[in-house]
Amino acid sequence: MSVGIRHDDLRRRNRAMVIAAVRRAGQPSRTEIAATTGLSHSTISAISADLIGEGILAEGKPSDTGSLKRGRPQVGLGLNPEAAAVMTVVLSLNFLSVTVIDYAGQVISEEQRRLDTLTMSREALIGECVAIVRRRLDDPDIDVRSVARIALAIQGITDTDARAMLWSPITPQTDIAFADILEAEFGIPATMENDCNMMAVALRWRDPERYRDDFIAILLSHGIGMGLVLKGELFTGTHSSGGEFGHMIHRPGGALCRCGRRGCVEAYAGNYAIWRNAKQLGEDTEPVADVSDAQMRALAATARERDGPEREAYRKAGEALGYGLGSLFALIDPAPVAMVGVSAAAFDLIEPALREAIAQTAGGQHSKSISFDTEPNELPLIREGCAMRALTFVDQEIFAPGVPARAGSGKNVA
């Protein structure tokens, strides 16, 4: 079953640890690395000498801070930006966005493009993705050989192996093995990630204080998605990306959901559901394909202005989210929640009913202490998460080979 530790695994693991420490801390000295990793100074010295020799790390300028301390000044170690590059491909409704990022995390090339994802053929969708990647690789600023990994993100369900999109609301197509397709086309390792999981990864890098070991990122958009970090690891289903919070059942046999079933949380809290309730269309009405952000903002403005069906629609959304979170918290215990997406900007309309509902549940025992952050713009978050995910893959698989960075696992989030 689980395999014994060989002697040479040791060095590999400790190399990975040093790289991770540098990526987290920015410009730590060898002494600081020794402290955070718990390894001895001599070991850190040996490993960092290797990594510098290989061009993975680089010593920082000693001039940096006019160190006030006595003694030999610390010399900071940083990631060598030229050690590698990674590419992120984010596919969302009617929108395709690609960035190239150097090893230190700086964007060095990007391109964005509007598409009509809902009506495109399978071939056209794949073709657009391949073409945009090719254009970025052809960018004269980019050394193609340095691009070590591609991370794709898409709204919807992906498989645990991070190879394929299984189902997505942005296209009628299913089961597209994007990762395999890009790998075959460009010879660069690729993974296919779920957008909400990438949001969670990004939150962790942005604010490790708040989003450390256990937290939830919920996407309040046309659909409802979730990224979940538990005990420091990204939580995924056993076969798929999992965490389909939006399709937990809120009311058995209730409102019609975009997925074709009834009573899902999303069927009350997704943009289309809020829209449907605000327009008093009845719960059996077929969900509309898209509601623009502007329309949603207008809806929220109306709801704030006067009592009426708009306000009631947000109340119902809050209730569904609250009961859903309550059920979730019954399983995993409460944790900080980040609300992301256009409806997060209307969280003031959602929160009262949400808190009232959650207080009715087993998970809501300490409902007052549960805290919510809001972030209306999901795209930058998804891009950032993708970038960090791709970079940590490079850290672990390429620069510290032998330490398996399981695709589905979130081990490499940290």
> x/- binding map, residues 314-343, to its own copies, per CB under 8 A?
-----x---x--xxx-xxxx-x--------
Binding site for DNA (CB under 7 A): 4-8, 10-11, 14, 29-31, 38-43, 45-49, 62, 66-75
Which residue, 288 or 330, has its beta carbon nearer to its own copies? 330
- From candidates 23, 136, 163, 247, binder to its own copies by CB under 8 A: 247
Query: Is 160 in contact with 408 (CB distance < 8 Å)?
Result: yes
- From candidates 89, 248, 338, 346, binder to its own copies by CB under 8 A: 248
Choices 171-179, 185-193, 233-241, 284-292 (CB under 8 A): range interacting with its own copies: 233-241
Q: How far is the CB of 239 from its own copies (least distance, A)?
A: 4
Q: How far is the CB of 392 from DNA (least distance, A)?
A: 20
- 1 touches its own copies by CB under 8 A: yes
> What does 46 interact with, of DNA, its own copies, none (CB < 5 to 8 A by kind)?
DNA
Which residue, 280 or 360, has its beta carbon nearer to its own copies? 360
DSSP category for residue 174: E
> What does 261 interact with, of DNA, its own copies, none (CB < 5 to 8 A by kind)?
its own copies
Rg of the chain over Cα atoms, rounded to whole angstroms, equals: 23
Q: How far is the CB of 66 from DNA (least distance, A)?
A: 7
Q: How far is the CB of 288 from DNA (least distance, A)?
A: 58
Name the token pair of 236.
């995924």
Q: How far is the CB of 237 from its own copies (least distance, A)?
A: 4
Residue with tokens 């001895």: 40
Which residue, 43 or 146, has its beta carbon nearer to DNA? 43
> What does 41 interact with, of its own copies, DNA, none (CB < 5 to 8 A by kind)?
DNA
3-state secondary structure of 156: coil
Which residue, 49 or 118, has its beta carbon nearer to DNA? 49
Looking at residues 378 to 397 of the shown chain, list those that interact with its own copies (rule: CB under 8 A). none
Distances, alpha carbon 89 to alpha carbons 131, 147, 152, 264, 358, in Å: 12, 13, 5, 29, 36
In 262-301, which positions are buried (b, 16+ CB within 10 angstroms) versus exposed (e)? bbbbbbbbbbbbbbbbbeeeebebebbeebebeebeebbe
Q: How far is the CB of 56 from DNA (least distance, A)?
A: 15
Which residue, 48 or 197, has its beta carbon nearer to DNA? 48
Query: Is 114 in contact with 347 (CB distance < 8 Å)?
Result: no
| Concatenated DSSP letters of 52-90 | HHTTSEEEPPTTSS---SSSSPP--EEE-GGG-EEEEEE
| Concatenated DSSP letters of 277-309 | HHTT--TTSPPPS---HHHHHHHHHHHHHS-SH
CA-angle at 170, arms to 247 and 118, nearest 5°:
135
Q: Please name which of 229, 240, 245, 125 lies closest in space to residue 194, comparing C-alpha atoms.
A: 240
Q: Which amino acid is at 352?
A: P
Q: What are the residues binding its own copies (CB under 8 A)?
A: 1-7, 10, 13-14, 17, 24, 36-39, 43, 213-214, 230-231, 237-240, 242-245, 247-253, 259, 261-264, 319, 323, 326-328, 330-333, 335, 357, 360-363, 414
